[in-house]
Amino acid sequence: MTLFEALKILPEISSSPVALFCYVVTIAAWAYFGVSVRRHKNLLNNLEKLRPEDRLKALESQLGEGKLRRGLDPEQWLRSRIHKYFFLAFLAGCTTLLVIVALVINHPKGDVEIDVTPYRSQQLMDRLQIALVAMVGMGQANAADLEFSKPESKGRVSPNQIQYDYEKKDGKIYIQASSLYLRDVREGKEVSGFAFEPGVFIWDYPALSVKVVNNTDKTLLLSEAVLQIEKSTVDTRPILAVYSPGSMGRFWFANEGWGRVRDPHLALSFYGPTCSSDVSVPTQDVPLTTFLDGPSVDISKLIDPTLRSASLECPSEAEKSKLPPYMRANPFYGCKQTEICVRGTLSYLQEDNSPFQFRFKTKVYLGPIPAPPVMPSYTYDVRLEAGKAGYSIRVPISQEIQPGKTDHFLLQVASDKTSTYDLNLKIYDAQGKAEWSGDIDLEVFVPRSNAGLGKPRKR
């Protein structure tokens, strides 16, 4: 061990119980010896003022002792006692120094580095980096510098893909759900409709990336992660979207938030396929009532006859009579359709009585259209309860990190509702020692239509 390494671990050694005991004993000994030396020096100075035959009696009266060695007078005896106290104080200091040196020598080499950040899956890059780490080795590494998957966005992101923005400030981690679509909606911009799916958003529960570097000469076994939920608040803001394209003269709202759309007022205008607003188009008001689940809106009777005939051209009755009966049974058989562009503004009150406007643009066909396939479901590892606080969740983990090796695992956090959490995370080893602890401000986004689809998965 080098001198630099020894000095580096001194702060940790100084906090050990053995070192603290030695410090206390040494300070107490030095205090006692200091008082004794001062007292003997005062006696020595005053003893010189007395007659020689009175000095021994004065010494006995002050110290309660005065048995002198043969050949020593009282002055010499006092000086020998002073030198003895200095020597004992020196021995006490040397003993403490030897204990500290022994603790430094026996201290485990290296330390454990753990860093926690959000995780965004980049499976191919993960495999390549893990393989590179296994082949090359990390030596003395810092977990905060070991990036298996950086939280920054890479490549093109879909507007409805939920990401988790990450910020570390004043020792606390802040994680918030975001997407281009959510940003545009909350800024009052016009948004386009989405294809028919079980849910509007491409999303997943947030995962905490725990990166571990074992720089010690012993095997580290992490056995448990404890999340202490200190605060939780349910987000009751409605999150609206429109399924597109609509069919049979209807389009459908979707509410992916956890609050009602109260006292809604819907204003619509209709255009041709290009959705050009160069010409003046009258606005139509559509009555709606307070809703949680998104309603459908029938526009078939609101469309101008000219726009209707241009959007749906069907064979005449004479042409249909020439068709086989099973074809004539389908009223839209042989029809040519073009989409109608619907632009609208939905004004409403949120649960906290604050007003909000949702501006959208979608496509509607007056006849039927095929529906696209269903999206896959999502999974989770740790499940939290929205709005509940003051409890801990213990997550059994088994991560064995050999000396000089690295490890990377995930804590994926699920919630039953869109909510924010103020929590503390601790990573423990098999001996119950907290190897990492940190505060996390976490926002979990959970679309209401997909809330029950999460299933645990093994990694």
Strands 163-169 and 172-178, by their bridges, are antiparallel
444: tokens are 């979990």
pLDDT of residue 112: 66
Q: How far apart are CA 394 and CA 380, in angstroms?
A: 15
430: tokens are 């098999």
Q: Does residue 198 contact residue 453 with C-beta atoms inside 8 Å?
A: yes
The dihedral through the CA atoms of 213, 214, 220, 225 has a sign that is negative
Query: Phi/psi of residue 219, each to 5°?
Result: -75, 130
412: tokens are 């994926």
Count CA atoms closer than 13 A to 287's CA, side-chain side.
0
Burial of 360-374, coded b for 16+ CB within 10 Å and e otherwise, reads bbbbbbbbeeeeeee
Nearest to 365 by CA among 295, 316, 313, 312: 312
Q: Angle 337-340-345 (CA atoms, 0-180°, nearest 5)? A: 160
Pinpoint the alpha helices (H) of 69-117: 74-106
Nearest to 436 by CA among 399, 403, 382: 399
Q: How far apart are CA 317 and CA 321, in angstroms?
A: 6
pLDDT of residue 372: 45
- For helices 52-63 and 17-47, angle between their N-to-C axes, nearest 10 degrees: 150
- The stretches in the chain having pLDDT less than 70 are 1-15, 40, 43-44, 46-78, 104-113, 117-157, 196-198, 277-280, 326, 370-380, 404, 452-459
Return the C-alpha torsion angle 244, 248, 249, 255, nearest 10.
-40
Q: Does residue 193 contact residue 346 with C-beta atoms inside 8 Å?
A: no
Q: How far apart are CA 444 and CA 177, in angstroms?
A: 6
pLDDT of residue 156: 56
pLDDT of residue 458: 40
Q: How far apart are CA 423 and CA 390, in angstroms?
A: 10
Q: Does residue 406 contact residue 147 with C-beta atoms inside 8 Å?
A: no
